Amino acid sequence: MNIFVDADYLSLNKYNEELCGDKVEIIRTEDFVIVVLADGLGSGVKANILATLTSKIIGTMISMGASIDEAVDTIINTLPVCNERGIAYSTFSILQIFNSGECYLIEFDNPSIIRLIKGRYVDINRQVREINGKLIKESRFTINTDDILVMVSDGAIHAGVGHILNLGWQWENIKEYLERIYRKDISAKNISMLLLEVCDNLYAKKPGDDTTVVTIKVRNCVQVSVMIGPPVNKNMDQSIVSRFINEDGKKIVCGGTTSQIVSRELKKEISTTLNYFDEKVPPTAKIEGIDLTTEGILTMGKALDYAKRYVSSENTIKDFLDLNKQDGASKLAKLLIDESTSVKFIVGRAINPAHQNPEFPLDLGIKLKLVGEMANCLKQLGKKVTLEYV
């Protein structure tokens, strides 16, 4: 199955705590993706250490070929049990998604994972079994494109206790909320942000517990190819444009000179516009067969700002809304961040004559730096990124 696992998470720390007692580990291999959500006992430093150890040990062992039983057994034998309460050091959920769409889910005392198919809740059959004296829930099922799985720590189902709601936000309420906000094109990060925002509001911005939302969305693979900057050797223009246009997926051209090269080699006219949707971002243009044509360094720089805010743990709803604006940088960022699953950059190393004006001191180094930083942001989102310098 040609799928991409879009997995992302966001957390709220308990009020007045510097460290979060929840920890998420996302590990990608050639054959599968592992997502682990561990919730350490209590809060603060102790909970953070316990959750971190739990998620790291489980994630690393499974990715190295150990069985779930071995990983759970190691956790139980390695980490302590609370002497006062006699309960587990950390609860956890483990989801392993194979490239075939087959899933293996283990849950130990965390709220049940929520599964949406076409935006509607579908139950997961679970078997209870014992590993080293601990009762765990085990499930095997298959996922398809656009299926969504949401893990939450117990801070989410306690949201509102003592503030807005007497008994907190229940698991059923979360399930119904996820069904309401579902859209086919919604991203994993957007779901996590919207759900966590509600939890924060229910806590009146003073969370009574560490709260984490992990969203996994299965998507079809979509490659986006970006050509930015003219090649060093002008004689290579035709072959490079030919390779670029024959790449799978969507095509983006960044830069005035680059646009002219693509236009010339494809024998397609450039249709320009003077519509400034953002006074800091140059207008876009159109070339038949190209999904987006923008100015180069200024637009890429602004798109990089959006990308950095998007991957930041301190992002807000506004950072997601910025991707839906009509300027070139927002469109570029949306294609790279929201719509792509893999990105190929074809980066020209020729120095653009237009950038030699002393009042406009942009050079090749800035372009390479911007592309490199954008590639790093995309990798943090789990996308496969290829850089080709020409």
Domain residue ranges in the chain? 3-220, 223-389
For β-strands 22-28 and 3-12, DSSP reports them as: unpaired
Tens-digit pLDDT profile for residues 83-126: 555 555 788 999 999 999 999 999 998 999 999 999 999 999 99
**Residue 75 pLDDT greater than 60, yes or no:** yes
Q: What is the Cα–Cα distance from 111 to 88, expressed in whole angstroms?
A: 15
User: What DSSP assignment string belongs to 211-261?
Assistant: EEEEEEEEEE--EEEEEES--SSGGGHHHHHHHHHTSSSEEEEESHHHHHH
Tens-digit pLDDT profile for residues 86-96: 555 788 999 99
Mean pLDDT value across residues 196-209:
89
pLDDT recorded at residue 22: 92
Which residue shows structure tokens 């560490």? 210
**C-alpha neighbours within 13 Å on the C-beta side of residue 84:** 2
pLDDT recorded at residue 190: 87
Q: What is the Cα–Cα distance from 274 to 65, expressed in whole angstroms?
A: 56
Q: What is the Cα–Cα distance from 48 to 202, expressed in whole angstroms?
A: 23
- Structure tokens that stand for 10 in this block: 């966001």
pTM higher than the cut 0.75: yes
pLDDT recorded at residue 316: 54
Q: Where are the beta strands (DSSP E) in the chain?
A: 3-12, 22-28, 32-40, 90-98, 102-108, 114-117, 120-121, 127-131, 134-142, 148-152, 211-220, 223-228, 250-254, 270-272, 285-287, 292-294, 342-347, 384-389
Average pLDDT over the chain reads 86
pLDDT recorded at residue 314: 62
Q: What is the Cα–Cα distance from 338 to 219, expressed in whole angstroms?
A: 11
84 DSSP β-pair partners: none
Tens-digit pLDDT profile for residues 281-326: 888 899 999 999 998 889 999 999 989 988 876 655 555 566 678 8
- Structure tokens that stand for 5 in this block: 């696992």
CA-based angle 202:207:212, to the nearest 5?
Answer: 90
CATH superfamily of 3-220: PPM-type phosphatase domain (3.60.40.10)
Q: What is the Cα–Cα distance from 46 to 249, expressed in whole angstroms?
A: 47
Q: What is the Cα–Cα distance from 368 to 178, expressed in whole angstroms?
A: 40
Q: What is the Cα–Cα distance from 160 to 7, expressed in whole angstroms?
A: 26
Number of residues written out for the chain: 390
Tens-digit pLDDT profile for residues 236-290: 999 999 999 999 999 999 998 999 999 999 999 998 877 767 777 888 899 999 9
**Residue 169 pLDDT greater than 90, yes or no:** no
